[in-house]
């Protein structure tokens, strides 16, 4: 059984620029630069000792690089989602194949799924301790929230629905620091009072952080003042440029699924 943490990722499609948009105007995206930035993102995890599991490429799916939306891992559950955008449902085939490879390699994962008419995007799922906040918006519906709660509550997790209207996904607006503090750019957070501890950050692209372990966090290079804020709280801050994904409402959380052992 592996003992190091790992990330599940998928390389960006050459059709990345055609990805779904809801709140941003479409602007040019450079596929070659996106690939370089994706490689740098993966390398940042590898440098911290994380293993990397790469899903099969899905060039026909422009949004396939945002692998977190197709797969949520909670304790021993590997939950295949039910994407709210019809164009993304084909991504589940290779996501399932990747999970099956993990199980075959020795990971004790139970594979389950959100079933229609429920919809759930992984970008709407924020785990903070035993609480799982789930964004209820355009991509995740009430039935998806209900099914997720039924799956995770036996593991001692409590699901708390929160509204999402100002951004694409819940984690486009808020994520959490290693100590459980929820962070976000206040103008894009629908209800900061939904979280017991909320810290506003000065830049939109500073909202998304990934806990790398050992007091380190990964975040976008496009939020230097927020990086200083996190460093002042005693965190080691690792930054990566992800401009081409941010143009498509992506962030550092949605480019991977993290599995901690």
For the domain that residue 107 is a member of, what is the CATH number? 3.75.10.10
102 domain residue, yes or no: yes
58 domain residue, yes or no: yes
184 domain residue, yes or no: no
C-alpha span between 178 and 121 (Å, rounded): 23
> What's the pLDDT at 1?
43
204 domain residue, yes or no: no
16 appears as a binding residue in the annotation? no
Q: What is the mean pLDDT of each run of 10 residues along the chain (261 residues)?
A: 83 96 93 97 98 96 98 97 96 96 94 98 98 97 98 97 97 98 97 97 98 97 98 98 97 96 71
> What's the pLDDT at 132?
98
The question of whether 205 is a catalytic residue gets the answer no
C-alpha span between 41 and 70 (Å, rounded): 19
Query: CA–CA distance from 249 to each of 136, 144, 208 (Å)?
Result: 17, 22, 12
The question of whether 61 is a catalytic residue gets the answer no
pTM for this predicted structure: 0.96
69 appears as a binding residue in the annotation? yes
139 appears as a binding residue in the annotation? yes
Chain-centre distance for alpha carbon 52: 16
76 appears as a binding residue in the annotation? no
132 domain residue, yes or no: yes
> What's the pLDDT at 89?
96
186 domain residue, yes or no: no
245 domain residue, yes or no: no
Q: Is 106 exposed, middle or buried (0-12, 13-18, 19+ CB in 10 A)?
A: exposed
What is the CB neighbour count within 10 angstroms for residue 31?
A: 14
Chain-centre distance for alpha carbon 97: 19
- In the set 61, 205, 251, 254, the catalytic residue is 254
223 domain residue, yes or no: no
- In the set 23, 61, 169, 251, the catalytic residue is 169
C-alpha span between 20 and 248 (Å, rounded): 7
146 appears as a binding residue in the annotation? no
Long-range CB pairs of 228-232, under 8 A, 24+ apart, other chains included: 229/201, 229/202, 230/177
User: Are residues 147 and 120 in contact, defined by beta-carbon separation less than 8 angstroms?
Assistant: yes
Number of domains in the chain: 1
> What's the pLDDT at 229?
98
Q: pLDDT for 89-109, tens place per residue?
A: 999 999 999 999 999 999 999
Q: pLDDT for 175-208, tens place per residue?
A: 999 999 999 999 999 999 999 999 999 999 999 9
DSSP-assigned beta bridge partners for residue 160: 133
Query: CA–CA distance from 75 to each of 37, 49, 121, 174, 228 (Å)?
Result: 30, 21, 18, 22, 32
> What's the pLDDT at 198?
98
Q: For residue 30, what are the domain limits?
A: 6-176+250-259
């Amino acid at each position: 059984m592996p003992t190091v943490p790992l990330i599940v990722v998928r390389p960006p499609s050459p059709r990345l620029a055609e990805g779904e948009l809801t709140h941003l105007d479409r602007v040019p995206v450079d596929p070659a630069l996106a690939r370089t930035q994706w490689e740098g993102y993966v390398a940042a995890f590898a440098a911290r000792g994380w293993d990397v599991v790469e899903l099969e490429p899905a060039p026909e799916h422009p949004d396939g690089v945002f692998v977190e939306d197709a797969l949520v891992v909670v304790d021993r559950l590997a939950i295949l989602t039910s994407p709210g955008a019809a164009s993304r449902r084909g991504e589940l085939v290779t996501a399932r194949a990747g999970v099956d490879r993990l199980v075959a390699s020795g990971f004790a994962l139970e594979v389950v799924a959100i079933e229609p008419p429920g919809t759930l995007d992984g970008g709407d799922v924020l785990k903070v301790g035993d609480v799982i906040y789930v964004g209820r918006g355009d991509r995740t519906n009430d039935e998806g929230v209900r099914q997720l709660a039924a799956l995770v509550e036996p593991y001692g997790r409590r699901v708390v629905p929160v509204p999402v209207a100002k951004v694409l996904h819940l984690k486009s607006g808020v994520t959490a620091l290693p100590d459980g503090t929820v962070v976000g750019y206040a103008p894009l957070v629908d209800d900061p009072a939904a979280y017991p501890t909320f810290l506003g950050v000065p830049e939109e692209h500073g909202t998304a952080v990934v806990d790398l372990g050992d007091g380190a966090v990964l975040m976008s290079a496009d939020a230097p003042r927020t990086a200083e804020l996190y460093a002042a709280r005693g965190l080691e801050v690792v930054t990566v440029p992800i401009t081409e994904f941010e143009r498509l409402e992506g962030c550092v959380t949605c480019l991977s699924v993290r599995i901690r052992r």
